[in-house]
Structure 1
């Protein structure tokens, strides 16, 4: 699994339409609030032209892309943290994801109702963010009460944890989204609580077809919000993505060219998610299988090996590495070796995006 994203937003902003387009899973989608009752889950292959190129050259028995899991969560409403709408059940579903994809309606359409009666991206974002923050406050308050009590034993580590929780609780009480203030040192003390407002956010501006060419006022407003929050932001048309999802690869490319689009919405969301989570892709390649693997930036070779199998990491000897650019030039791992372009790297080597790696190990 590459990573997983929870798709959130107010009711009726295009979440399930986007989910259907991304996953082709046939999740129900309709023009009324709370259409999604249970969270829909879909696993999507991550498109990667590099993987296709490597596979075309090597012609393995199988080619395996890395994947992303999308969780389509019911539309949240004001006071969801208090049980309104479909309440805390759905807030708990978001706690398990790596990142939040927040769909925001950025187009006018009289035939599609809006839960608050008007299109207001800033107001929509504030409603969702406040509900996530209130849910976090509830978790932090309970945790702080428990840890403070335990810290009275004189345990230094518990005292530090208590201080960190109190600091973060006070910031949350002031309305601060926690992803903007939680440091790496603090994270180890709060990681267990899966706080919602610590998770990275990718805002998705859902526009109509006209809005794809030029940013309308709604999109401009949302981009300012994202910049202020240090969040990601991409613009797509969920309706158009639903149409693209029905096409084969050749038809899709023709359609995107006609629309003047370089990437599909799926590719934009994945690219935005990778950037948010500091993810990269490396490849393993052989006659049996060419496969893509997702890891965090700055991952050491020995840890990347563990992504494949714990035995490979445990018995790590060395990594034989070439970049994708080198492979693109020679089109053969054997030719790369013959040209002396295959590098030998040890456990501490930091894997780069696009590396093709063969791990030597002995257990």
Structure 2
């Protein structure tokens, strides 16, 4: 990065607008790295972030901190001073800290769904460490899930937050996106409440959404398309 800074500094001084804009970004990053700070700690605007992404800096990657706790501490991680230290450090970078107990996770891996629920309840834990890690990773990466439901199978599809209905259709197949007409849509929570599409229609919970619709986490979609 220091070599890059020296190189574009000359161009920036020669009134090269593109180099001047890049120089500002590189200077911010180099200053932080010289102080031992990760690149992700540098405050950058949207356009600056696009420039910085081209450098593929390791310390620009988002982070999740995972603290391995004892069985006695897992129900109340803050009782461990080391956990609190990690939490304070992570908070400075707006990162999550997840407390898990590796021994408990190993035991959970051998249990069925009902047994897991009882086991976690006995420990005073609402969800497993693995589930917490998955949720945190999705949130950190800006990922969400929509579902497609058919007679033979139900599938979950991962998409980036902010994607439209046609873009999500393209996750399944590019033809779905090219020929997108509209999407029949209802939420997972509504489906669990009403139990059938017929009752969803009666309750006015089944919607038809067009090309501008921003798909929400947990949406169940049926795409109409014509190619």
Q: TM-score range by the shorter chain?
A: 0.7 to 0.9
Partner residue of 2:214?
Answer: 350
Partner residue of 1:246?
Answer: 110
Residue 162 of structure 1 deviates from its aligned partner by: 2.9
Matched, 1:192 2:54: yes
Partner residue of 1:294?
Answer: 158
More helix by share: 2
Matched, 1:168 2:168: no
Q: Deviations over 1:66-107 (max 9, x none)?
A: xxxxxxxxxxxxxxxxxxxxxxxxxxxxxxxxxxxxxxxxxx
Equivalent residues of 1:180, 1:230 under 8 A apart? no
Equivalent residues of 1:182, 1:198 under 8 A apart? no
**What is the number of residues matched between the two proteins?**
224
Residue 362 of structure 1 deviates from its aligned partner by: 1.6
Query: Which of the pair has the greater relative contact order for Cα pairs under 8 Å at 6+ separation?
Result: 1
Partner residue of 1:33?
Answer: none
1:250 match: secondary structure: helix
Q: Deviations over 1:40-84 (max 9, x none)?
A: xxxxxxxxxxxxxxxxxxxxxxxxxxxxxxxxxxxxxxxxxxxxx
Residue 233 of structure 1 deviates from its aligned partner by: 0.8
Residue 146 of structure 1 deviates from its aligned partner by: 5.2
Equivalent residues of 1:233, 1:272 under 8 A apart? no
Partner residue of 2:182?
Answer: 318
Gaps of 5+ in 1: 1-139
- State the alpha-carbon separation in 2 of the partners of residues 319 and 347 from structure 1: 8
Equivalent residues of 2:28, 2:42 under 8 A apart? no
- State the alpha-carbon separation in 2 of the partners of residues 263 and 340 from structure 1: 33
**Gap change, CA 1:361 and 1:154, over 3 Å in 2:** farther
Report the TM-score, using the length of structure 1 for normalisation. 0.56
**Gap change, CA 1:235 and 1:168, over 3 Å in 2:** same
